[in-house]
């Protein structure tokens, strides 16, 4: 997982989540369904070191990562794209995917990503229309 736990504060919620998941699985209501723990396994204790070791070995990003290309003005050193999805400092390049979403949506990322693509298409088309309507300088001077 690329830099997933670069900030030490990132590990604590995952450790706590594993402890909660274990506690739920060990609840009496699940006794008749429970045989043995498969994921962590009995060799992984509930102490912070064991859980941290397990997480560092097995954690990965699988589903719908978002938020890697912040939208903002050119003066924002963390911003990658402007409000029209154009990459700062790179001509003729836009980011048109889930990476511009600031947070993971409550549902699947498919529909919002399609909406981003539709908006980008509209922005590109409107830019092309504007370019066609503007007189070319060489023609204006002739």
- Catalytic entry in 11, 50, 59, 64: 64
Instruction: State the pLDDT at residue 85.
Output: 96
Q: What is the pLDDT along the chain (142 residues), one digit of tens a residue?
A: 567 788 888 999 999 999 999 999 889 999 998 888 888 877 888 888 899 999 988 888 766 778 899 999 999 999 999 999 999 999 999 999 999 999 888 888 999 999 999 999 999 999 877 777 766 655 555 5
Instruction: State the pLDDT at residue 111.
Output: 94
Instruction: State the pLDDT at residue 142.
Output: 54
Using an 8 Å Cβ cutoff, are 37 and 22 in contact?
yes
Instruction: State the pLDDT at residue 137.
Output: 59
Instruction: State the pLDDT at residue 141.
Output: 58
CA distance 6 to 86: 28
Is residue 64 annotated as part of the catalytic site, yes or no? yes
CA distance 112 to 98: 8
- Cα–Cα–Cα angle for 33, 28, 49, nearest 5°? 90
Instruction: State the pLDDT at residue 101.
Output: 94
């Amino acid at each position: 997982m690329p830099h997933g736990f670069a900030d030490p504060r990132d590990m604590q919620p995952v450790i706590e989540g594993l402890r909660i998941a274990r506690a739920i699985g060990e609840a009496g209501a699940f006794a008749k369904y429970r045989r043995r723990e498969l994921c962590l396994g009995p060799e992984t204790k509930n102490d912070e070191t064991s859980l941290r070791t397990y997480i560092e070995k097995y954690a990965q990003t699988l589903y719908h990562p978002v938020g890697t290309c912040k939208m903002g003005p050119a003066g924002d050193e963390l911003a990658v794209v402007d409000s029209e999805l154009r990459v700062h400092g790179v001509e003729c390049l836009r980011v048109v995917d889930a990476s511009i979403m600031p947070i993971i949506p409550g549902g699947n990322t498919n529909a919002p990503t399609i909406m981003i693509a539709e908006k980008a298409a509209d922005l590109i088309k409107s830019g092309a229309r504007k370019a066609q309507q503007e007189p070319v300088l060489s023609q204006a001077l002739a």
